[in-house]
């Protein structure tokens, strides 16, 4: 048992070794590590009194708040599983989560979608939560020591149309935090502003790494550019969950230089931004945060920051994992070939809650199958190609639309592209490309086919290329059902 | 099984993700990660053919060489346990190690002490080792996946007069490496010169962290100042195993500036040294490498670099462990009081080889008992006091000589001190101090007792102070048997 380290243990250690450090800042609330430790003990005792034992679920339905971290740590102390759910979901979606997870306790912020579902065991965030916590005893909880037990559930990838809760253990989260501490070069004193949604791994992973190094987590309900500026200045924030347009919004909000943002040690973005903050040279910031990840690997699987000058834009694996690119038979594909990104190692998840068949399929051969395609470059680095979910079967060969689309988009005249399979008597399916040309550029179908042939194995090249004004999308990915309907797609394997 | 990560796995990953990186440089030998991986597979197959199965031991008897890393990794591939033994030992000491560990294979460099012991299963380093390795098949070894099994044995702490082999698992070594990667801010490209002895954790831990981040390990048989300069220049070494007088020797060897040492990113030491190297700002280098550690915790347990401005000179625990200061009953002592430094967490060892009773005693209550005394300071940082092995029992109170000696040495007139217990009818033992004054300084016994009283609980102050010319030593610690004999010590608890 001397190898354990639960999230609850991490907190208990900091309460001793960092008695004066601020663990949490959230509006008027400021808690040192010993204060957070005592609140977590009270909360754990209060939850236990409501029947939350090892393996039971606790749900948070609301925006960012320090209560999220408290509920996670109290769940760890009890061996329970905590889930911060997406509060933006519809009543139907929320009701699926409730039926799926059957939580013993729900702590919630009042919302139109949640209100009709509320009932027994529901505690309103704010005064009710405070009263609930204060009612818990401050006596030490009987220790739950198994750090391989799940402690966090995050809803993610929808297979067969329903989302699944990825389960992460303390051991996995602690390992993932260690990899972030390495790549982000986090040190004591690190202050993270939780302004991204904590029901996503992208914000949660930095919240936990900040906890791991004994830093300070600042909470704000959601992204608001002016409020981010105010908090960075007031709390001397080291890093926030910011990129792209969010950074532009922060720059605009601070155009007059009202707030001092120099405590931010972060990625270079624009001249105005770089002048406001301290541009950081850690591998994470140097690489503009590139890499490949998903909830199921604890957050990040590969880091561009670990692969200076890399050919593959996803970089190299974290020091605590292994990656293999496998074909359908489970054999490794050679460098340069597309294969499913598979992983194992310390930060991996423990499967989805209550999905035994899916879990067996996803972890066949002892490797987690990410459902994404990648390629090993000659320098050993990894390129993320796209989801492997859609596959075309042509002449007994597998063709992944994402890979062909990537090749199409490297043609200088191509603005966008989608690839589908059309029924073919001889080959079962044939590859067909729908291509959008850049304004003022021209290219023939033959030219485009030749271009793909130069980049990929010949059987992957489109037999037909049709030109279109635009590609219909669902979010960021092509709406393949609409494209199939418009261009004669069908005969997909398994369909 | 998706959570495993053996040392063999780390190598297998690097062979894919870093095909062009030099893993090992040793004299004429240079190996990329794929080359090292193939040699390790051959070596594992050759060892297996000699009967090395999971749990069997493999011994190295020689100076530093890349074979040490190869034998460790091949042992990991098989689930075997590798031990790099101290080649400076006498024939009697070596013979104890051989009987204790009963290795299936010994790879050795010829020495006076080892020669009479050599026999079946002994392979001479150099040409014989190369032939042995080349005879192994290059076919993949059946995977040994349990990363919690011991893979490295390092002889350490002698209790009851005999040394014990601390067993470290892949999981513990990988976790410890992660903590070094964090505190030393190691990145890909890190090149470590193995010039300290690899049978000690101090060098081994950096060798393994360098492996973990996919860097380059350079091997040299032992410390030689001129050769260190040459290798740093030739291999663009980032860090070597250097401190104190070794650094002075390197500075002297490079007085003419013959070698370019600027690739070294290391601790500040002297003006000449600082001008030759690149002074590094990582927490490890900033703190001049302070902290507390021992083989049993994988290397370092606490780091001064994680505790800027700390009161306790051992700093704060690594992010992957917990520390408690416990009394004899297993209860935590309050801050400011001396207690045994106890630890648990990811980098801890798996007990001593073949010492079930000792292991049960050392891990009672689920905490590894280091055998050392420490104190939690008001800021939560930790001070290492000294070994707790010797204890004085006075009026039912425990008094640790190391703690009283530390207090005595803070008196401006005291150069050295040793504390013993003398038999006492009323109190069982009384505290007696033997004090050496600094040249030209004077202090009365009363003054010295008052000084200690100001720093420690009154029952710990010496009742008697005697002055002496010097303190007899065994290595760095007082020779208590000799001091007891000279000054009437006795009646120790348990004696």
Q: CA-nearest residue of chain A to B323?
A: A13
Q: CA-nearest residue of chain A to B6?
A: A345
For residue A206, how far is the Cα from the chain centroid?
Answer: 11
Whether pLDDT at B396 is above 90: no
Give the pLDDT score at A159. 59
Please indicate if any CB of chain B lies within 8 Å of the CB of A94.
Answer: no
Question: Between residues B121 and B69, which one has the greater pLDDT?
Answer: B69
- Rounded mean pLDDT of chain A? 93
From the candidates A318, A319, A332, A369, which should be mutated to test the interface with B, based on the most B CB atoms within 10 A? Answer: A319
Average pLDDT over residues A68-87: 96
Please indicate if any CB of chain A lies within 8 Å of the CB of B317.
Answer: yes
Cβ neighbours of B283 in A, within 8 Å: 187
Query: Cβ of A182 and B186 within 8 Å?
Result: yes
Give the pLDDT score at B432. 96
Query: Cβ of B346 and A5 within 8 Å?
Result: yes
Q: Which residue of A4, A5, A322 is in closest CB contact with B9?
A: A322
Please indicate if any CB of chain B lies within 8 Å of the CB of A189.
Answer: yes
Q: What pLDDT, in 10s, does the model give residues A31-57?
A: 999 999 999 999 999 999 999 999 999
Please indicate if any CB of chain B lies within 8 Å of the CB of A1.
Answer: yes
Please indicate if any CB of chain B lies within 8 Å of the CB of A398.
Answer: no
- Rounded mean pLDDT of chain B? 93
Whether pLDDT at B456 is above 90: no
From the candidates A3, A344, A375, which should be mutated to test the interface with B, based on the most B CB atoms within 10 A? Answer: A3
- In order of start, what are the domains of chain A with their CATH numbers? 7-222 (3.40.50.12780), 291-387 (2.30.38.10), 394-487 (3.30.300.30)
Query: Cβ of A2 and B179 within 8 Å?
Result: no
Do the beta carbons of residue A81 and residue A167 sit within 8 Å?
Answer: yes
Query: Cβ of A344 and B3 within 8 Å?
Result: yes
Q: CA-nearest residue of chain B to A351?
A: B2
Q: Which residue of A3, A17, A380 is in closest CB contact with B381?
A: A17
Please indicate if any CB of chain A lies within 8 Å of the CB of B309.
Answer: no
Query: Cβ of A17 and B323 within 8 Å?
Result: yes
Cβ neighbours of A174 in B, within 8 Å: 320, 346
- Those residues with Cβ within 8 angstroms of residue B120's Cβ, 6 or more apart along the chain or in another chain: none
Band (B288; pLDDT cuts 50, 70, 90): confident
Please indicate if any CB of chain A lies within 8 Å of the CB of B379.
Answer: yes
DSSP-derived pairing of the beta strands B428-437 and B414-424 = antiparallel
Please indicate if any CB of chain A lies within 8 Å of the CB of B366.
Answer: yes
Query: Cβ of A19 and B145 within 8 Å?
Result: no
Q: CA-nearest residue of chain B to A7?
A: B320
Q: Which residue of A178, A319, A376 is in closest CB contact with B213?
A: A319
- Those residues with Cβ within 8 angstroms of residue A227's Cβ, 6 or more apart along the chain or in another chain: A220
Q: What pLDDT, in 10s, does the model give residues B228-248?
A: 999 999 999 999 999 888 999
Q: A455 vs chain B: nearest CA distance in angstroms?
A: 22
Please indicate if any CB of chain B lies within 8 Å of the CB of A83.
Answer: no
Q: CA-nearest residue of chain A to B190?
A: A306
Band (B160; pLDDT cuts 50, 70, 90): low
By residue count, chain A amounts to 495
Cβ neighbours of B213 in A, within 8 Å: 182, 306, 319
- The least confident of A354-368, A467-481, B309-323 is A467-481
Residue B172 to residue B178: CA distance in whole angstroms: 10
Please indicate if any CB of chain B lies within 8 Å of the CB of A8.
Answer: no
Whether pLDDT at A403 is above 90: no
Token pair belonging to B304: 């001064």
Do the beta carbons of residue A91 and residue A117 sit within 8 Å?
Answer: yes
Which 8-state DSSP code applies to residue A241? Answer: S
* SS (HEC) of chain B: CCCCCCHHHHHHHHHHHCCCCEEEEECCEEEEHHHHHHHHHHHHHHHHHCCCCCCCEEEEECCCCHHHHHHHHHHHHHCCEEEEECCCCCHHHHHHHHHHHCCCEEEECCCCCCHHHCCCCEEECCHHHHHHHHCCCCCCCCCCCCCCCEEEEEEEEEECCEEEEEEEEHHHHHHHHHHHHHHHCCCCCCEEEECCCCCCHHHHHHHHHHHHCCCEEEECCCCCHHHHHHHHHHHCCCEECCCHHHHHHHHHHCCCCCCCCCCCEECCCCHHHHHHCEECCCHHHHCCCCEEEEHHHCEEEEEHHHCCCCCCCCEEECCCEEEEEECCCCCECCCCCEEEEEEEECCCCCCECCCHHHHHHHCHHHCEEEEEEEEECCCCCEEEEEECCCCEEECCEEECHHHHHHHHHCCCCEEEEEEEEEEECCCEEEEEEEEEECCCCCCCHHHHHHHHHHHCCHHHCCCEEEECCCCCEECCEECHHHHHHHHCCCCCCCC
Please indicate if any CB of chain A lies within 8 Å of the CB of B283.
Answer: yes
Whether pLDDT at B289 is above 80: no
Q: Which residue of A2, A9, A145 is in closest CB contact with B348?
A: A2
Residue B447 to residue B453: CA distance in whole angstroms: 10
* B 193-232 near A (Cβ less than 8 A): 212-214
Please indicate if any CB of chain A lies within 8 Å of the CB of B346.
Answer: yes
Q: What pLDDT, in 10s, does the model give residues A310-333?
A: 888 899 999 999 999 999 899 999
Q: CA-nearest residue of chain B to A320?
A: B5
Do the beta carbons of residue A322 and residue B12 sit within 8 Å?
Answer: yes
Cβ neighbours of B212 in A, within 8 Å: 319
CB atoms within 10 A of CB A234: 12
Please indicate if any CB of chain B lies within 8 Å of the CB of A366.
Answer: yes
Query: Cβ of A366 and B185 within 8 Å?
Result: no
Question: Between residues A275 and B481, which one has the greater pLDDT?
Answer: A275
Whether pLDDT at B159 is above 70: no
Do the beta carbons of residue A106 and residue A124 sit within 8 Å?
Answer: no
Query: Cβ of A319 and B382 within 8 Å?
Result: no
Q: CA-nearest residue of chain B to A298?
A: B3
Residue B197 to residue B190: CA distance in whole angstroms: 19
Q: B37 vs chain A: nearest CA distance in angstroms?
A: 15
Q: CA-nearest residue of chain B to A34?
A: B380
Q: CA-nearest residue of chain A to B325?
A: A16
Please indicate if any CB of chain B lies within 8 Å of the CB of A168.
Answer: no
Query: Cβ of B13 and A214 within 8 Å?
Result: no
Residue A174 to residue B320: CA distance in whole angstroms: 8
Give the pLDDT score at A112. 87
Query: Cβ of A172 and B323 within 8 Å?
Result: no
Percent of chain B with pLDDT over 90: 81
Give the pLDDT score at B494. 60
The count of CB pairs under 8 A between chains A and B is 162
Q: Which residue of B17, B186, B379 is in closest CB contact with A20?
A: B379
Q: Which residue of B186, B283, B345 is in closest CB contact with A5?
A: B345
* B 15-44 near A (Cβ less than 8 A): 16-20
Here the ipTM equals 0.86
From the candidates A11, A298, A380, which should be mutated to test the interface with B, based on the most B CB atoms within 10 A? Answer: A380
Give the pLDDT score at B158. 60
Average pLDDT over residues A137-161: 88
Cβ neighbours of A2 in B, within 8 Å: 343-345, 348, 363, 366-368
Give the pLDDT score at A494. 60
Do the beta carbons of residue A326 and residue A340 sit within 8 Å?
Answer: yes
Whether pLDDT at B161 is above 60: no
Query: Cβ of A319 and B212 within 8 Å?
Result: yes
Band (B313; pLDDT cuts 50, 70, 90): confident
Query: Cβ of B20 and A185 within 8 Å?
Result: no
Query: Cβ of B16 and A379 within 8 Å?
Result: no
Comparing C-alpha atoms, which of B312, B383, B322 is closest to residue A214? B322
Q: What pLDDT, in 10s, does the model give residues B79-95?
A: 999 999 988 888 888 99
Residue A227 to residue A102: CA distance in whole angstroms: 36
């Amino acid at each position: 048992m001397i190898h354990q380290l639960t999230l609850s243990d991490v907190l208990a250690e900091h309460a001793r070794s960092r008695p004066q450090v601020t663990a949490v800042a959230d509006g008027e609330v400021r808690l040192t590590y010993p204060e957070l430790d005592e609140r977590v003990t009270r909360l754990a005792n209060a939850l236990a009194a409501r029947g939350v034992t090892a393996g039971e679920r606790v749900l948070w339905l609301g925006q960012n708040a320090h209560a999220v971290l408290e509920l996670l740590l109290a769940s760890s102390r009890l061996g329970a599983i905590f889930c911060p759910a997406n509060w933006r979901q519809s009543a139907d979606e929320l009701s699926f989560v409730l039926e799926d997870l059957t939580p013993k306790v729900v702590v919630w912020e009042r919302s139109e979608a949640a209100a009709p579902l509320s009932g027994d065991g529901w505690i309103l965030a704010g005064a009710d939560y405070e009263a609930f916590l204060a009612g818990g005893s401050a006596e030490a909880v009987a220790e739950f020591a198994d750090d391989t037990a799940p402690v966090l559930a995050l809803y993610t990838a929808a297979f067969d149309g329903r989302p699944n809760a990825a389960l992460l253990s303390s051991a996995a989260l602690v390992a993932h935090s260690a990899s972030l501490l390495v790549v982000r070069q986090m040190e004591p004193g690190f202050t993270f502003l939780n302004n991204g949604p904590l029901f996503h791994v992208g914000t949660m992973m930095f919240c936990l790494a900040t906890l791991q190094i004994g830093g300070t987590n600042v909470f704000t309900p959601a992204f608001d550019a002016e409020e981010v500026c105010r908090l960075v200045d007031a709390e001397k924030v080291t890093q926030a969950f910011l990129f792209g347009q969010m950074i532009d919004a922060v720059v605009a909000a601070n155009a007059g230089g009202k707030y001092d943002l120099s405590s931010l040690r972060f990625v270079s973005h624009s001249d105005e931004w770089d002048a406001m903050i301290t541009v950081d040279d850690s591998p994470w910031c140097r690489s503009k945060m590139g890499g490949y990840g998903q909830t199921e690997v604890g957050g990040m699987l590969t880091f561009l920051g670990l692969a200076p000058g890399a050919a593959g834009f996803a970089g190299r694996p974290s020091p605590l994992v292994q990656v293999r690119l496998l074909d359908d038979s489970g054999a490794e594909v050679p460098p340069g070939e597309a294969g499913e990104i598979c992983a194992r190692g310390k930060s991996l998840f423990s499967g989805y809650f209550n999905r035994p068949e899916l879990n067996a399929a996803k972890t066949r051969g002892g490797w987690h199958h990410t459902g994404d395609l990648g390629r090993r470059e000659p320098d050993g680095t990894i390129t993320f190609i796209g989801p492997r979910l859609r596959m075309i079967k042509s002449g007994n060969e597998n063709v992944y639309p994402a890979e062909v689309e990537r090749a199409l988009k490297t043609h200088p005249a191509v603005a966008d592209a989608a690839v589908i399979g059309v029924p073919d008597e001889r080959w079962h399916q044939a590859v067909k490309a729908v291509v959008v040309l850049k304004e003022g550029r021209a290219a023939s179908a033959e030219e485009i086919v030749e271009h793909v042939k130069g980049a990929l194995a010949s059987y992957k090249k489109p037999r037909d290329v049709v030109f279109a004004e635009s590609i219909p999308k669902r979010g960021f990915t092509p709406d393949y059902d609409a494209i199939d309907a418009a261009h004669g797609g069908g005969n997909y394997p398994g369909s």
